[in-house]
A and B are shown apart, each in its own frame.
Chain A
């Protein structure tokens, strides 16, 4: 994996990498991905992906406000650099 590609991923993930990290990660990620290439050999035709282990079904919450305000956060506005 090229350092250019690493830089693009880092930007997408909002990570800032030093030159040293970028070079190191590039080799390591390349090694990991090439080891994982074996996945491409597995026949997966018609196999539904498994995203949730177990057999859990969605349990829904009733639309009732909580009893107390103890969980409420007491904070003012969060301050960040300009969004515009």
Chain B
């Protein structure tokens, strides 16, 4: 029982899926199928994003459109007038010596995001603001010096800032997943966390339960996966609790997270905090948003993931958990809808999508390169329901189809994954097992039902996983009863 409660706020940077950078015509991301790491250093730069003297920023209309779209999807107020500002600091990956961002008047104000916790419990977290800004480049340490790559400099970002009102790492993780679902759903961000297109800074402070004032806050910077964000926050709460319990005080600072050690580490103390000298960007006039433009964007907004989740629960009877996962990305929903069209039953399908398919997608980190089609899913569900394959085989088949794109029927054949329901074959295996374990068999016969599982397992083993477990059990009971 802790005497302290955590206060967590998240600042999430989403790279906008524009073709060009926010203030110049350089490509914002590599061509399809090319990884960021494979673009030659500084290839995607021009005098503007490399900060050459005399160059000026000109704002990308699509970036504004996407920021507004995100704002509307998150129920934010859209500010008809907003302003860019300069945040001044020196760093080699910041070509101009300042970042163009929004400070006093962001493009979107107050909003909120509703989502489910893994328990199914519902939560709403308020959003403070969404602002537009440019990304910095990248410095890489090489031996005795560092090298600067500006391909990323000037890539458009939105920063979505939540109110500090989350209490647990789990809640923060669920918020982050839901936010990821929304921005990818409305196609303003591709959400690729490995490439850094969706990244999170967490502000964590502790205070005595019941207090209304905030404690000293620590910022955990740039954590790049859902799981690591949860772990970093959990670790930070533990660390701060230990300090406070021992009578110490938490230092205001910026910390990083080291996934290898599962620990946060100090990066910069308050005394080294920057004086950013914000002031309105003189090179960019005020951004005015015509109501007609905002209305247009609103009218084109699709049904949002949370709305669809509610509909799936209501209309298809999916569990809250499955519905949440199925609606966590457009890709999953597309598979879901198209597989149903092909005759798959919705609950079994949702199960498969929420289980093996999303596990695989997470593991690969991308759908690119996947050869999995809705027909594969529909076929697997049908085979599974007809007991022609086992649940294990179903998982295997999804993995195989993802890689090869072959027909499910062919894969079953090729890999010998058909479930053996031939009674004679099953009986032969069962007899062998009984002959190997006579003592256990006599126990079953004297009424020890628990051992049915043992014999089923042994037969499964003999069959190489192909035996139909329901049929084996039936056979065992019949044999015991006879």
Contact = CB atoms under 8 A, between A and B. Distances in A.
Direct contact between the two chains A and B in their complex (CB within 8 A): yes
Interface in A54-84: 56-66, 71-73, 75-84
Interface string A42-54: 0000000001100
A5 interface: no
B465 interface: no
Contacts of A58: 59, 284-288
Given A77-B148, A80-B139, A72 B46 contact: yes
Contact of B45 (A57, A59, A72, A80): A72
28 contacts: A52-B285, A57-B288, A58-B287, A58-B288, A59-B58, A61-B60, A62-B62, A63-B19, A63-B62, A65-B19, A65-B27, A71-B25, A72-B26, A72-B43, A75-B45, A76-B42, A77-B140, A77-B147, A78-B92, A78-B147, A79-B145, A80-B146, A80-B148, A81-B145, A82-B141, A83-B91, A83-B141, A84-B141
A14 B58 CA distance: 28
Interface in A5-63: 12, 14, 51-52, 56-63
Interface residues of B, number: 43
A51 B42 contact: no
A81 B150 CA distance: 16
Given A14-B90, A73-B50, A78 B42 contact: yes
A60 B287 CA distance: 9
Nearest to A61: B58
A12 B19 contact: no
Interface string B285-297: 1111000000000
A82 B61 contact: no
A63 B47 contact: no
A65 B46 CA distance: 12
A60 B60 CA distance: 6
Interface of B: 18-20, 25-27, 41-43, 45-47, 50, 58-64, 90-92, 139-141, 144-150, 275, 277, 279-280, 282, 284-288
A60 B25 contact: no
Secondary structure call for the A interface: loop
Interface of A: 12, 14, 51-52, 56-66, 71-73, 75-84
Given A12-B275, A58-B284, A83 B59 contact: no
A82 to B, nearest CB: 5
Nearest to A81: B145
B32 to A, nearest CB: 14
A71 B46 contact: yes
Nearest to A59: B58
A77 B275 CA distance: 29
